[in-house]
Amino acid sequence: MTTLSKGSLFDPELVTDLIDKVKGKSSLAVLSQQKPIPFNGQKEFVFTMDSEIDIVAENGKKSHGGLSLTPIKMVPIKVEYGARISDEFIYASEEEQINIIKSFNDGYAKKLARGLDLMAFHGINPRTGAPATIIATNNFDSKVTQTVEFSTTDPDANIEAAVSIIQGVEGSVTGMAADPAFSSALAAMRTGGDTNIRLFPELAWGANPGSINGLKTDINSTVSGGGSKDVAILGDFANMFQWGFAKEIPLEVIKYGDPDGSGQDLKNYNQVYLRSETFLGWGILDESNFARIVKPASGGGE
């Protein structure tokens, strides 16, 4: 087999396609910046200027304004996905092999997109749903302590309250990630009275319009994934959250053994195993620029 061997890489076109697909299926990727991250990580520096600008008279004295500098380290973590397929892949024409790899690439993009959200929103291992030690507190549920209690009867007021919290610390709101339950509550709101029209008609029938009242929005079940109480997360995703891939993405074709621990030898079952690994990193640069709308302790809304 000459087309693909163990340890080879996705070609640049497939890597670009993979990243583009992730950008379309992850709420965090939709709302925030993506940039390449080196394997050994990188630091982003958040500058806080403590004072306002100062007027200086001619020949006047200049005073110190003050500056705080906080480094945020983004270290990529390795994630992987593998699947068994028929060993006919080995004997297929080059064109058919490429089609199979493209299909694998499509599926892998969906899993990466969902995984990015579950890890960065909730700090869990996407496969097990359990908290991931390697992620520790580098997630919204751990870092973002500004919360608003979800009301099923007036979710619009929840958004206003969350925006007010963020703006109260001079933050900005550039986007919102919302669970379908929160979107449904918004879609159900009506004016009442004789007209009784929908307040948010763009959300009817489970639509995901991309923005609500001019605010960039993505609706995704990952917001409440892993048993989280979150129903929406608002904040400055454009400037205060970053994520990225290490650019080289390996793809292995494994012909022998039991690489997934299933107890079934590949050769014995006429199978090969496709496995891809990706180094994926992210960082919340300033958690005060975000707020979470959460289910009340009882588990429901008002």
Residue by residue, DSSP assigns 62-80 as P----EEEEEEEE--EEEE
Q: What is the pLDDT of residue 95?
A: 84
Number of domains in the chain: 1
Q: What is the pLDDT of residue 3?
A: 43
Residues with Cβ within 8 Å of 163's Cβ and at least 6 positions away in sequence, in order, are 173, 234, 291
67 vs 124: CA distance, rounded Å: 35
Could you say which DSSP state residue 53 is in? -
Q: What is the pLDDT of residue 76?
A: 83
Which secondary structure element, helix H or strand E, spans residue 292, and what is its range?
A: strand 290-294
Q: What is the pLDDT of residue 54?
A: 56
Which sign does the torsion angle of CA 92, 95, 97, 102 carry? negative
**DSSP bridge partners of 78:** 279
Q: What is the pLDDT of residue 6?
A: 43
Reading the chain (302 residues) residue by residue, the pLDDT tens digits are 334 444 576 777 787 888 888 888 899 999 998 876 665 556 555 545 555 655 666 666 656 555 555 667 777 889 999 999 998 888 888 888 888 888 898 999 999 999 999 999 999 999 999 999 999 999 999 999 999 999 999 999 999 999 999 999 999 999 999 999 999 999 999 998 888 999 999 999 999 999 999 999 999 999 999 999 999 999 999 999 989 887 677 888 899 999 999 999 999 999 999 999 888 889 999 999 999 999 998 755 55
Residue 264, in any domain of the structure: yes
Q: What is the pLDDT of residue 55?
A: 61
Q: What is the pLDDT of residue 154?
A: 96
Q: What is the CATH number of the domain that holds 183?
A: 3.90.1690
Burial of 75 (0-12, 13-18, 19+ CB in 10 A): middle
Residue 273, in any domain of the structure: yes
Residue 226, in any domain of the structure: yes
Q: What is the pLDDT of residue 35?
A: 76
111 vs 127: CA distance, rounded Å: 10
Q: What is the pLDDT of residue 70?
A: 62
Residue 59, in any domain of the structure: no
- Helices (DSSP H) in 35-154: which residue ranges? 88-91, 94-122, 140-143
Q: What is the pLDDT of residue 91?
A: 86
Q: Which domain holds residue 100?
A: 8-49+72-294
Residue 55, in any domain of the structure: no
Residue 146, in any domain of the structure: yes
pTM of the predicted protein model: 0.85
Residue 64, in any domain of the structure: no
Residue 133, in any domain of the structure: yes
